[in-house]
């Protein structure tokens, strides 16, 4: 009688677990719902061809929206009044990312949990957190970002209330706590001055997104105007995955919260200031050079076992260099074509 043993299928197991780790980790991230291919109107432009130039750099073409008025009437000819495309190329630098879990044989035997399965779950959460943090940091100039916060385009930075800089953001209703007026203001500026394109959802609706730190959102939730607006309205197109987990919507800006929004104690009186992210289409590029995989290994004659994950991935804030002769990100007159930072108070509530 022929019996299929573990040895007959063990080569297939790592591949299955690698796919599971990859899929589950991606769906745990905040930004996964906003991903789309080059040419889409999604905030995260993702390239999966795994093709890259020497030096671990993946190229991605970007184009600014047309701004011409066009022609009307039979006597206004198109010839001689065409608008040229304005193109740039974003270079996404990819880097390896890896982590592992290891345990002893005795711990595995005496433990009621399946340590291999538990390790898979924990590595999924770890990978999801790292992928999310990379995008939050990249857009706001945090650790590991291609452009430090100080060098981000000045047109990207917006301040709640009467604040005019990070150091003047105060924990008061008028000085830096998030209000509905701030959302309308940043949307108007983003749409008019920065020419940030909206996200187009399946029913033709055009929206922007705003992800808030939990404490920044808390100030908004306590606002009577916000409370009334949410009682009287609901999310249009709420069946679209884009609206999953949304806090609500104001002025066609869909609001979300995430504890991964960056903060720093650099406001007035050293209060905590959140780097909330306002975003539209083509905010950041994401590229894989090697998908997350799963590796298992035994040590010391089977006395210890371990599992590891490894990937090569990169993220890049899409900045349109207004002066091609300059190095992108070295001057603050560049334009981020899909995102802005809304600085606001994010002070924790007291007991």
- What interhelical angle do 180-192 and 224-232 show, nearest 10? 70
Write the DSSP assignment of 182-237 as a string of letters: HHHHHHHHHHHTS-PPPEE-TTS-EEEEEEE-HHHHHHHHT-HHHHHHHHH---TT
Is a pLDDT exceeding 70 seen at residue 5? no
Residue 302 gets the label, from left (phi > 0), alpha (psi -120 to 50) or beta, of: left
User: Which residues, 6+ apart, have CB-to-CB distance to 113 below 8 Å?
Assistant: none
Q: What is the pLDDT averaged over residues 71-82? A: 65
Give residue-wise pLDDT tens across range 272-311: 999 999 999 989 999 888 888 888 888 888 888 888 999 9
Q: What is the pLDDT averaged over residues 226-248? A: 73
Distance, in Å, from the CA atom of 97 to the CA atom of 311, rounded to the nearest integer, reads 5
Distance, in Å, from the CA atom of 272 to the CA atom of 269, rounded to the nearest integer, reads 9
Q: What is the pLDDT averaged over residues 313-330? A: 70
End-to-end alpha-carbon separation of the chain, Å? 69
- What interhelical angle do 224-232 and 214-221 show, nearest 10? 80
Is a pLDDT exceeding 70 seen at residue 71? no
Specify the length of the chain in residues. 351
Give residue-wise pLDDT tens across range 51-64: 555 557 776 666 66
Give residue-wise pLDDT tens across range 122-156: 999 999 999 999 999 999 999 999 999 999 999 99
Contact indicator for 343, 277 with CB cutoff of 8 Å: no
Contact indicator for 306, 103 with CB cutoff of 8 Å: yes
Beta bridge partners of 286: 46, 315
The two three-digit tokens of residue 89, written as one number = 């190329």
Could you tell me the pLDDT band of residue 345, with boundaries at 50, 70 and 90? very high
Could you tell me the pLDDT band of residue 72, with boundaries at 50, 70 and 90? low
Contact indicator for 197, 336 with CB cutoff of 8 Å: no
The better pLDDT of the pair 247, 345 is held by: 345
Could you tell me the pLDDT band of residue 92, with boundaries at 50, 70 and 90? confident
Beta bridge partners of 304: 104, 299
Beta bridge partners of 143: none
Is a pLDDT exceeding 80 seen at residue 13? no
With a pLDDT cut of 90, the percent of the chain lying above it is 44
Mean pLDDT score of the chain, rounded to an integer? 83
């Amino acid at each position: 009688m022929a019996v299929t043993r573990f040895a007959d299928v063990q080569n297939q197991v790592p591949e299955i677990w690698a796919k599971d780790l990859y899929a589950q980790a991606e769906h745990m991230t905040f930004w996964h719902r906003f991903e789309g291919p080059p040419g889409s109107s999604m905030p995260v432009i993702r390239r999966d061809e795994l093709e890259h130039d020497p030096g671990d750099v993946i190229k991605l073409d970007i184009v600014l929206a047309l701004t011409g008025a066009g022609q009307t009437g039979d006597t206004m000819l198109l010839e001689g009044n065409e608008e040229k495309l304005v193109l740039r190329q974003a270079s996404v630098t990819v880097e390896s990312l890896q982590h592992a879990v290891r345990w002893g044989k005795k711990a595995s035997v005496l433990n009621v949990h399946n340590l291999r399965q538990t390790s898979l779950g924990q590595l999924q959460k770890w990978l999801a957190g790292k992928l999310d943090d990379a995008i939050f940091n990249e857009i706001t100039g945090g650790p590991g970002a291609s452009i430090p916060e100080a060098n981000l385009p000045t047109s990207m930075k917006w301040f709640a209330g009467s604040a005019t800089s990070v150091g003047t953001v105060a924990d008061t209703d008028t000085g830096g706590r998030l209000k509905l007026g701030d959302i309308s203001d940043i949307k108007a500026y983003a749409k008019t001055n920065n020419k940030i394109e909206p996200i187009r959802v399946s029913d033709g609706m055009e929206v922007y997104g705003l992800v808030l730190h939990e404490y920044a959102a808390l100030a908004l939730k306590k606002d009577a105007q916000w409370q009334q607006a949410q009682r009287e309205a609901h999310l249009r197109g709420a069946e679209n995955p884009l609206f999953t987990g949304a806090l609500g919507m104001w002025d066609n800006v869909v609001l979300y919260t995430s504890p991964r929004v960056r903060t720093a104690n650099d406001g007035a009186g050293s209060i905590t200031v959140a780097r909330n992210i306002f975003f539209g289409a083509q905010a950041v590029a994401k590229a894989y050079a090697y998908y997350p995989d799963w590796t298992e290994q035994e040590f010391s004659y089977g006395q210890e076992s371990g599992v590891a994950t490894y990937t090569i991935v990169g993220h890049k804030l899409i900045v349109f260099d207004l002066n091609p002769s300059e190095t992108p990100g070295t001057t603050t007159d560049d334009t981020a074509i899909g995102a802005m930072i809304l600085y606001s108070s994010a002070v924790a509530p007291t007991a």
